[in-house]
Amino acid sequence: MRAAMRNRNLLLCLFAIAGAASHAQSPTPLPAACPWVTHGSAARALGAEVSVALNLVASGEGSCTFSRIQEPGAFLKVEISKTALPSCGADSTKLKGVGNEAMRCALPGSGVQGGEMISGRVRDLHFVITFEPRGKKSPTNPADAQEDILQLVAEQVAGNLF
């Protein structure tokens, strides 16, 4: 009887140890990521390390705001909605290969800071990308490459909405 009790206790200890070991080996969950733009693409566009604020809903709508860590006023924001969002005017630059009805324009109120906006639609989802560099361009990218980076971000967003 004592041997059976000892075996039972030993078995319970082994199960407890195995459970603790498997729990310790389970991977740490990754923080939530923006489903439309990678963290690296946003950091490249802003030319520095960035933090991200997410506002995502189960319907596939929401926003991701990437801010330059050293200068939070510099940001890249992506908004996705099933309803119309603020968009560029009819006199804006039309973009090809970036969803439907994609337009690029100066960000209203950005002045000499160089803020820009790209708006468009993919299927039933509207998107707006707002880019405010706050006058600082990435030192590794000339001004014309900076514009191309924003175009690449827009292509990434549109591609992820398909």
Question: What are the φ/ψ torsions at residue 134 (nearest 5 degrees)?
Answer: 55, 40
What's the structural domain count of the chain?
1
87 assigned to some structural domain = yes
26 assigned to some structural domain = no
10 assigned to some structural domain = no
What is the structure's pLDDT at 140?
A: 42
21 assigned to some structural domain = no
Q: Return the residue matching tokens 């967003």.
A: 157
16 assigned to some structural domain = no
74 assigned to some structural domain = yes
What is the structure's pLDDT at 94?
A: 92
User: Over the Cα atoms of the chain, what is R_g?
Assistant: 24
Q: Give me the half-sphere count of Cα atoms (radius 13 Å) on the Cβ side of residue 49.
A: 2
Residue ranges of the chain with per-residue pLDDT less than 70: 1-32, 109-113, 135-147
User: Which domain does 131 fall in, by range?
Assistant: 39-161
What is the structure's pLDDT at 121?
A: 93
What is the structure's pLDDT at 10?
A: 43
What is the structure's pLDDT at 114?
A: 73
Three-state SS for 157? helix
13 assigned to some structural domain = no
